[in-house]
């Protein structure tokens, strides 16, 4: 990851934060990250009155790197398609699992942002739902530095409460460009999230090297990291493609020429 960060020029994406087209540029960058290795900043890494101006070095300003590390970076590809990952998915009786999303999450000390309660099936949906998250702690994860929290038993409640989908605004036509002056953006369908009782969530404190397996419907979150220690993790999401259909309105769609690749075929 250090090599990727060394090669990243913050000015290449800084325009996202300081132009009148901020929303459009942000959406475009996000959608394209489905097929690329893209860099996303922590919200608190910027000067309040000077959007786009970092308050600290880039290595400690990045929130995450995603979303195609598992295919495009040789180190992450080797791990994501290793015998250990395949063994996990076989134990869950997946017949043709496909890695669809990967993220290196930094949870930077002092500024690592909160992640509100959510379900992974909301973002990576198949019919029927099949998303599995493999969250690997690269550093000790504690309550102090922003470990995961999960609502026990929430995975038994069926389909996700809502879905995040891609939507076209401002014109007709379809496709990556939005056609006829339209543009792709994101919206949620299915209603608002429940007002979860956070006192019922349980911390998932783990040592570095631990893999946490997350059912796609389990409700989980993490709090802001206000400590002096980072909480690096690698998150890989897979879905079943044998008997399950990847929805065409999922936000994450691969560009032409970069199709999803199955982990194995049983």
CA–CA dist 155, 32 (Å, integer): 30
Bigger pLDDT: 126 vs 43? 126
| Best mean pLDDT range from 8-17, 110-119, 136-145, 182-191 | 136-145
DSSP designation for 29: H
37 Cα distance to chain centroid: 12
Domain ranges of the chain: 2-158+198-246
pLDDT at 116 over 60: yes
Kindly tell me the sign of the dihedral angle through the C-alpha atoms of 15, 176, 260, 221: positive
| pLDDT(172) > 60 | no
Compute how many other C-beta atoms are within 10 angstroms of the C-beta atom of residue 150. Answer: 21
Per-residue pLDDT tens digits for 211-233: 999 999 999 999 999 999 999 99
User: Is the pTM value of this prediction over 0.75?
Assistant: yes
> Do 148 and 222 meet the contact criterion of CB atoms below 8 Å apart?
yes
Round to whole Å and give the CA distance between 231 and 144. Answer: 10
Q: What is the rounded average pLDDT for all residues in the chain?
A: 90
Contact residues for 39 (Cβ-Cβ < 8 A; gap 6+): 8, 10, 13, 62, 65
DSSP H or E run through 221: strand 220-222
Residues 124 and 254 sit within 8 Å (Cβ to Cβ): no
pLDDT tens for residues 54-101? 889 999 999 999 999 999 999 999 999 999 999 999 999 999 999 999
Strand stretches in 55-200, DSSP E: 62-67, 97-105, 115-118, 126-127, 132-137, 148-151, 163-169, 183-189
Q: Per-residue pLDDT averaged across 136-141, rounded?
A: 99
Superfamily of domain 2-158+198-246, CATH level 4: q2cbj1_9rhob like domain (2.60.120.620)
State the Rg of the chain over Cα.
18
């Amino acid at each position: 990851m250090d090599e990727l960060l060394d090669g990243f020029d913050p000015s290449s994406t800084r325009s996202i934060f300081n132009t009148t087209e901020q929303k459009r540029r942000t959406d475009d960058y996000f959608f394209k990250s489905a097929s690329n290795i893209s860099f996303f900043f922590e919200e608190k890494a910027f000067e309040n009155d000077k959007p786009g101006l970092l308050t600290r070095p880039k290595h400690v300003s990045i929130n995450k790197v995603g979303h195609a590390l598992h295919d495009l970076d040789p180190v992450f590809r080797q791990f994501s398609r290793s015998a250990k990952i395949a063994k996990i998915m076989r134990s869950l009786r997946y017949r043709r699992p496909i890695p669809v999303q990967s993220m290196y999450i930094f949870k930077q000390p002092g500024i690592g942002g909160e992640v509100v309660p959510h379900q992974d099936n909301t973002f990576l949906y198949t019919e029927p739902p099949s998303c599995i998250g493999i969250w690997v702690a690269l550093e000790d994860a504690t309550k102090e530095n922003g470990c995961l929290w999960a609502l026990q038993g929430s995975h038994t409640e069926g389909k996700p409460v809502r879905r995040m989908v891609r939507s076209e605004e401002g014109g007709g036509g379809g496709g990556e460009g939005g056609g006829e002056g339209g543009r792709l953006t994101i919206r949620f369908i299915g209603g608002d999230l429940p007002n979860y009782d956070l006192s019922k969530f349980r911390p998932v404190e783990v040592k570095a090297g631990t893999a946490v397996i997350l059912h796609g419907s389990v409700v989980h979150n993490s709090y802001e990291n206000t400590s002096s220690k980072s909480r690096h993790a690698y998150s890989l999401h897979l879905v079943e493609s044998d008997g399950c259909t990847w929805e065409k309105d999922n936000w994450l769609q691969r560009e032409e020429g970069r199709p999803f690749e199955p982990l194995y075929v049983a």
